[in-house]
């Protein structure tokens, strides 16, 4: 189970090297699958760490779609957990700040598929359980609320902009726990995440 973590480290090393060694390289965007940005995130209910790439969906860049892979190692969760995530993010406002900074609130909806080395995570109820005994729990619906701080860089650099973000997140399973259990507080269903977006195209 060390391979996913090694892969993430390899990708991070690659982009860091490119950022340092190709500062004066101009990239011409062509049609294809090259993403507008890549991102790295810590925590947030999709893994201890995650890596992804995203695309803007409209000309004003207020709507974007990310594909993400998240990983939680066994020493943190008991069993290694992999997450495949599709996340849609909307930025309702953009606030321009001095020195090429911008501030943007965000709201995200995401769907994740959890793959774990455990018989307790399943898309369909195992045959050894009675029908309806457990609800399938491998899929999650996530809601994120957060804020970003973006800094535009030179258009000739490999990395055109850097954006830091923080959000609070929950999912439908935690919300269900809140309504069904008297011992779960409202604040218990939320967790925090921090991350960075590195923009390849602006």
Domain region containing 80: 2-24+36-199
Under the banding of pLDDT at 50, 70 and 90, the label for residue 165 is: very high
pLDDT band at 202 (very low <50, low <70, confident <90, very high): confident
Give the pLDDT confidence of 82-99 residue by residue, as tens digits: 999 999 999 999 999 999
Report how far Cα 88 is from the mean position of its chain's Cα atoms: 10
Closest CA to 196 of 56, 34, 6, 41: 41
Looking at the domain assignment, is residue 190 inside a domain?
A: yes
pLDDT range class, residue 20, cuts 50, 70, 90: very low
Question: How many percent of the chain have pLDDT more than 90?
Answer: 49
Domain assignment present for 100: yes
Position with higher pLDDT, 66 vs 27 = 66
Domain count, the chain: 1
| Residue 65 forms part of a structural domain | yes
pLDDT given at position 87? 98
Location of structure tokens 């500062």: 23
Amino acid 27: pLDDT: 46
For residue 31, being part of any structural domain is answered with no
Q: Is residue 155 part of a domain?
A: yes
Residue 129 lies in a domain: yes
pLDDT range class, residue 130, cuts 50, 70, 90: low
| 127 inside domain | yes
List strand residue ranges (DSSP E) for 57-185, in order.
63-72, 81-90, 95-97, 101-116, 139-152, 161-171
Asked whether residue 30 is domain-assigned, the answer is no
pLDDT for the residue 45: 87
Per-residue model confidence (pLDDT) at position 22: 44
Query: How far is residue 95's CA from residue 168's CA, in Å, rounded to a whole number?
Result: 20
Residue found under tokens 């495949």: 84
| Residue 66 contacts residue 87 (beta carbons within 8 Å) | yes
* Residue 164, domain CATH: 2.40.160
């Amino acid at each position: 189970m060390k391979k996913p973590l090694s892969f993430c480290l390899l990708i991070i090393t690659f982009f860091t090297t490119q950022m340092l060694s190709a500062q004066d390289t101009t990239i011409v965007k062509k049609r294809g699958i090259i993403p507008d940005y890549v991102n790295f995130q810590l925590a947030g209910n999709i893994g201890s760490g995650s890596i992804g790439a995203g695309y803007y969906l409209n000309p004003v860049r207020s709507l974007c779609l990310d594909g993400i892979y998240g990983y939680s190692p066994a020493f943190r969760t008991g069993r290694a957990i992999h997450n495949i995530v599709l996340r849609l993010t909307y930025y309702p406002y953009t606030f321009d700040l001095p020195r090429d900074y911008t501030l943007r609130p965000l709201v995200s909806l995401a769907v994740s598929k959890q793959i774990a080395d455990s018989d307790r995570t399943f898309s369909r109820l195992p045959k050894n359980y009675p029908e309806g005994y457990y609800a399938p729990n491998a899929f999650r619906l996530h809601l994120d609320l957060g804020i970003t701080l973006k800094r535009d860089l030179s258009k000739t650099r490999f990395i055109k902009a850097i954006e830091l973000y923080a959000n609070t997140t929950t999912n439908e399973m935690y919300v269900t726990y809140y309504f069904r259990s008297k011992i779960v507080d409202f604040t218990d269903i939320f967790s925090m995440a921090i991350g960075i977006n590195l923009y390849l195209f602006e």
